[in-house]
Amino acid sequence: MPEMYNHKKHKVRWPGRAYLLYLLAIPLVPALLIAMGLGDLSKLLIYGGAFASFVLGARFMRKGLVAEAEFRKRKIAKASRTPLKTLGSIFTGAGTFILQWLAIGHSLPFAAVMATLAFVACVLFYGRDPVGSKFSNLGGHGYTTEEIIATLKEAEGKIFGIESARRDIRNPELVQRLRRIVERAKQILGVIEDDPGDIRRARKFLNVYLDGAKRVTEGYAHMHGSGNAGELEDNFRNVLQTIEGVFEEQHQKLLEHDKLDLDVQIEVLSTQLKKEGVV
């Protein structure tokens, strides 16, 4: 059975190693303040250039580490076209060069050597940027890797929207239904990651039903404190029951590689949304 999709598994933690590059810029802060106090424009530009280079190096490296972690963890991924970690190493080397040559006053060759060493040290410590694409069984469904990745990310955004709106709902029963819907949606994404051959049917399902779940949840979370709360709650419950049942059925059909008449179910959902007036 395909691995259950886990949104937390794809949530990349702050890459703490990038903090080390920020440390290079900290000693320059007093120098900048002194230069400003003395009104020394040349020193201010020199120290400011070195400071900015180190900060940019740290920022690019941080983004590169996040992109790399995302690439490593996903089964279907495409490496960033921008060499973020390489740019981080280049800016770190540039900051070292400015500091050694213009700030400290070492010779140009010595500063160039130190800058090169700083660049090489960053590459060795942080590694290179990932390249190319990785995927499981893409099959002959007619979708590119980029389209599959975009579909998954769009679905993740809708799941996040449901989870965010759920925090504003106080009814335990409705909250529990939403949790089940979110969990089933994550399982469906897990099936797609393992077997993108189902992307054609699943994409239509995610675009319509997941978007519908997100819209009704956000609408209810926004309106449930207003008048006619009881009627609105009943309508919302009815819609969630429909969505939860369809999510369960879609997940099973994907596991069984069976076909599902989405057009009929989509029409059912559209009709019910209009009838219940949740949004």
- Do 72 and 130 meet the contact criterion of CB atoms below 8 Å apart? yes
What tens digit of pLDDT does each residue of 199-245 get?
766 676 777 778 888 888 888 888 765 555 667 788 888 888 888 88
What tens digit of pLDDT does each residue of 109-131 get?
999 999 999 999 999 999 999 88
- Predicted local confidence at residue 275, as pLDDT: 61
- Predicted local confidence at residue 264, as pLDDT: 47
Ranges under pLDDT 70 in the chain: 1-15, 135-143, 197-198, 200-202, 204, 224-230, 256-279
Reported as half-sphere exposure (CB side, CA atoms, 13 A), residue 68 has a value of 18
- Do 260 and 253 meet the contact criterion of CB atoms below 8 Å apart? yes
Question: pTM of the full predicted structure?
Answer: 0.63
φ, ψ dihedrals at 78, nearest 5°: -130, 130
- Predicted local confidence at residue 229, as pLDDT: 61
- Predicted local confidence at residue 279, as pLDDT: 44
Distance CA 247, CA 255 (A): 12
Partners of 134 in beta bridges: 77
Chain-centroid distance of CA 250 in Å reads: 25
